[in-house]
Amino acid sequence: MKKPAVILLSGGLDSTTCAAIADDAGYEMHGLTINYGQRHNYELKAARAVAKQFKFKSHAIIELDLASFGGSSLVSDKVEIPKNRNLNTSNNIPSTYVPARNTVFLSIALAKAETLNAFDIYIGVNAIDYSGYPDCRPEFLSNMNSAAQTCHTYPINVEAPFVDLTKGEIVKIGLTLGIDYSKTWTCYEGKERACGQCGSCNERLEAFALNNSIDPLLYKN
């Protein structure tokens, strides 16, 4: 029998590549997607498509109202999404940061893992996010992994295979594994086509360009 693993699945590029790695490693995959009150539901649709593509054993979408706290342009249509942000900025946390989001997500994933008797959780945080988001830092993942090892009925591993990688390196892995990235969603805007200007789109477009590959996602321009 395959070993179960919980995949935190946003429907984006990173979590989809995480799913491909777990699939390639032979895990029985159980997806966990959090509907936390984000501005749009495009990534939820993408998460469902990715779970179907990789034939997940199960896929749960959890409702969680982080929007009631505010504090982020991702959970409020009253705060403008920053456009064309400098990707090399390392000391300026953007308004798209959702306070403690990964702490909350991993806590829920740990609870899910225990119900499945799963020993592994996959999360797609990476070095690019580290430049802006404090809950994507290596030390954060290390501390969460320590908690997962000691605060439950048995040790659970928090796997973050991209924490030291750039977005371009992640896309390279995904292309090697044959991922259909057209099913993923990255843009912070909830439009029919990706804006191509928000930080998430900028990172994605640069990653495909570095791999001499065309991004299959449809863009506004």
Residue 89 included in any domain: yes
User: Encoding tokens for residue 172?
Assistant: 């390279």
pLDDT of residue 116: 97
The CATH number that applies at residue 133 is: 3.40.50.620
Beta bridge partners of 35: 63
- Rounded to two decimals, the pTM is 0.92
Residue 220 included in any domain: no
- CB-based burial of residue 115 (10 Å sphere; 0-12 exposed, 13-18 middle, 19+ buried)? exposed
Domain count, the chain: 1
User: Encoding tokens for residue 200?
Assistant: 């998430």
pLDDT of residue 87: 57
Residue 107 included in any domain: yes
Residue range of the domain that includes 31: 4-210
pLDDT of residue 182: 95
Per-residue model confidence as pLDDT tens for the chain (221 residues): 899 999 999 999 999 999 999 999 999 999 999 999 888 889 999 999 999 999 999 999 999 998 888 888 888 877 778 777 665 555 678 888 888 999 999 999 999 999 999 999 999 998 777 667 899 999 999 999 999 999 889 999 999 999 999 999 999 999 999 999 999 999 988 788 999 999 899 999 999 999 999 999 999 97
